[in-house]
Structure 1
């Protein structure tokens, strides 16, 4: 009996030590939070480069009919990274403010009426509208402590969804070579139906009349569980743990959770600014990049030094003083897969080598015009020295054109595609004679 009591006492002591260690860790966690936050602000800003690079890779490798899927992947990624950045910045500022309040509270534990520099009437009235120092310290500490969990939950959710969606796109493009594309779409169709049912049950199960209906709530639980496993994979328990911690404590501290939601929305403003530094809009608004009434910096080598991925042909400058114009036309990776459809006669020519076949095909579906007059250049394969993009290079003789405003028109004319590309590149020609 005495041994049992000793064992029980030992368990209690161990539990107390564990609790005291955990409490001490919570009390001192602000130091680690501040350090991680400062490092993370720098690190997460680098993730914008990853989003930009991913966007360019999708543009390069995916066929145009899949651009919409790619858009949702990279835009949600941009939103997740933007939320993470804004949350880290907000956390850093709040924690710095919290440190200031803690230091102030250690010197002046509370407001003082007797020692005030102002009148008693004014001091009483102003103090009546101000929160207590200890209350502010506690609320800011709580808010800082939950920001990390919310931000990382969003990042982990997106990361898994983005990786899964990208792998599915790769698998889809591989499978459609061997099976009908409708069969390859079965997984995504099933997922859409699953998400539809979850949305439907979410509305029904949270209606006042059905919140106590056991059968509906059990069905709701099972659908959410299945959907979470499918969409979040091995991370579903950990991400649900975070979201349910917020949801199950919503009524206890509504203001705290509302603040977190407000901070999450701040990421939208960061995303709206950062999206202009990427080519994300190209995935859904390609026509915007082929407006013949506009001139783009990407057309000219001397103006596009900061552009990391060319979406259009390029000449040296918008002012030409030489008789030869150097023209570079980028060729995306997905274009190489179109050769069989766009160049069937050339592909059957057994007299040409593979490299010669490819170059002959590029000649066939690329057209160059100078002031509406067709020009037949001799193309050479070329890798752009700055962007490292593959393309074709041509040297165009413009000595016969008039001085002043002129333009070079480049067309990609596909036989098997409804949408062809066309760029009008204006330039001023000044005779150097």
Structure 2
């Protein structure tokens, strides 16, 4: 019975191998369709996360790196599957051609004997081409998902190292200053360096196709850490594909492919093609950016720093919106050290528990007793607003959620009576306080506009 069962499995697997191309085509086409939509949605999500959260903290920086790696994984998978789909279509075309004519009749070509002999040696038969293309397509299909697992594994490792660092930093901060804290710092630094070391060894072993697994005395020591990193990086999910590929193909070819991919990646990182030789990149005092004008900003673009109604003003007042960046919390705290923030930086309880003798009441967070006037003063204290050479010190500000992308910030209006008839420049600076208490204005944003006085 066991032999019959094994034969059935073997027969089923062979049938699956013969018909797997149909599944590959279906999965590739459907996945490409989904990935193209997912890629644009994920791009927008990453931009949204950048504008709504402050990534200067180490924990959030780890999350952002992980999101970027997922984004690159989606792009890499899309490109790989498009290549696979094109080659599989070529394979189907070769099969269709073979049904018409299975071999090349060199006699009908009536070529010179010299050319005929060399073509017979160099031109492969359709049968061999079909088999070769089928194998290449299947390998590319498997490699596409292996590539994703590599990027995700790298992200998981970075996340683990980052969480390790954040968690132990929090523990160190709870310890009293002195010998115990110093000992904990030394111990954690040693553990952190060791974790980085085994990560580098694991990466070298992976891309060298098992260099450290071949060393007898080292392999036994390496195995427990290999298992640990397999668990951390979730590499066990793609381990079978990895070992299948490196055992089936020549390691020289695999290293050659690694080298080509590495050169392409580094070339894309280091070089760019640009023929605008006399046009500056980025912003400078002579640049006009459309994203500061409400009537010109694309619907899918966020407000980066400030926003005004339009680049043409003909009213007695015009509005200026100052985007609230969470990274400004440090500046606000420095300008108003006595003011307690309304919320914690990060996670906050949505509920409030109150006790009235033996009774408990659970309600939502209530901020009605807060000094919003003082909070507004703290916010506006970090800004200096000027138009041309005139600095405005008595502007009235309001908390405001901009209807475009629901971004939070401050809104103020500036009278246009002192504006020049023609081009004007709005300049916004942020005020930081140094160690001796001096206020230092730093250039933050600018917007050029034209005023037409009727």
TM over 0.5: yes
**Contact 1:325–1:398 (8 Å) recurs in 2:** yes
Which runs of 5 or more residues in structure 2 are unaligned?
175-180, 272-280, 342-366
Change (3 A) 1:391 1:163: farther
Change (3 A) 1:101 1:189: farther
Structure 2 counterpart of 1:372:
389
Which runs of 5 or more residues in structure 1 are unaligned?
1-9, 274-287
Deviation at 1:248, TM superposition (A): 3.1
Q: SS state of the match for residue 381, structure 2?
A: helix
- 1:309 aligned onto 2:326: no
**Contact 1:45–1:85 (8 Å) recurs in 2:** yes
CA distance in 1, matches of 2:203, 2:269: 29
Structure 2 counterpart of 1:3:
none
- 1:360 aligned onto 2:377: yes
* Residue number among 81, 84, 88 corresponding to 2:77 in the alignment: 84
CA distance in 1, matches of 2:13, 2:141: 18
CA distance in 2, matches of 1:199, 1:25: 39
- 1:220 aligned onto 2:222: yes
Structure 2 counterpart of 1:110:
103
Structure 2 counterpart of 1:432:
453
CA distance in 2, matches of 1:408, 1:174: 44
CA distance in 1, matches of 2:317, 2:14: 75
- 1:323 aligned onto 2:316: yes
**Contact 1:246–1:257 (8 Å) recurs in 2:** no
Deviation at 1:214, TM superposition (A): 1.4
Change (3 A) 1:432 1:261: same
Structure 2 counterpart of 1:390:
408
Deviation at 1:419, TM superposition (A): 10
CA distance in 1, matches of 2:339, 2:231: 50
CA distance in 1, matches of 2:166, 2:421: 49
CA distance in 2, matches of 1:85, 1:26: 24
Deviation at 1:250, TM superposition (A): 3.9
Q: How do 1:22-171 and structure 2 match up within 5 A?
A: 22-48=13-39, 49-64=41-56, 66=58, 69=62, 72-116=65-109, 122-159=115-152, 162=155
CA distance in 1, matches of 2:257, 2:327: 45
Q: SS state of the match for residue 114, structure 1?
A: helix
**Contact 1:98–1:140 (8 Å) recurs in 2:** yes
Deviations 1:160-196 (CA, angstroms, capped at 9, x unpaired): 6647866987998899788629989998984553232
**Contact 1:326–1:395 (8 Å) recurs in 2:** yes
CA distance in 2, matches of 1:54, 1:432: 42
Change (3 A) 1:169 1:199: closer
Higher RCO structure (Cα 8 Å, ≥6 apart): 1
Aligned pair count reads 407
CA distance in 2, matches of 1:104, 1:263: 33
**Contact 1:79–1:268 (8 Å) recurs in 2:** no
Change (3 A) 1:366 1:427: same
Deviation at 1:430, TM superposition (A): 3.3
* Residue number among 2, 5, 11 corresponding to 1:11 in the alignment: 2
CA distance in 2, matches of 1:38, 1:51: 21
CA distance in 1, matches of 2:12, 2:137: 21
Higher helix share: 1
Q: Name the Cα RMSD after superposition.
A: 4.4
Q: SS state of the match for residue 106, structure 2?
A: coil
**Contact 1:342–1:414 (8 Å) recurs in 2:** yes
Change (3 A) 1:209 1:227: closer
Deviations 1:242-299 (CA, angstroms, capped at 9, x unpaired): 22222333427x54785587578767889999xxxxxxxxxxxxxx866434332222
Structure 2 counterpart of 1:5:
none
Deviation at 1:321, TM superposition (A): 3.2
CA distance in 1, matches of 2:117, 2:401: 74
**Contact 1:172–1:184 (8 Å) recurs in 2:** no
Q: How do 1:135-284 and structure 2 match up within 5 A?
A: 135-159=128-152, 162=155, 180=173, 190=191, 193-200=194-201, 213-230=215-232, 232=233, 235-251=234-250, 255=253, 258=256, 262=260
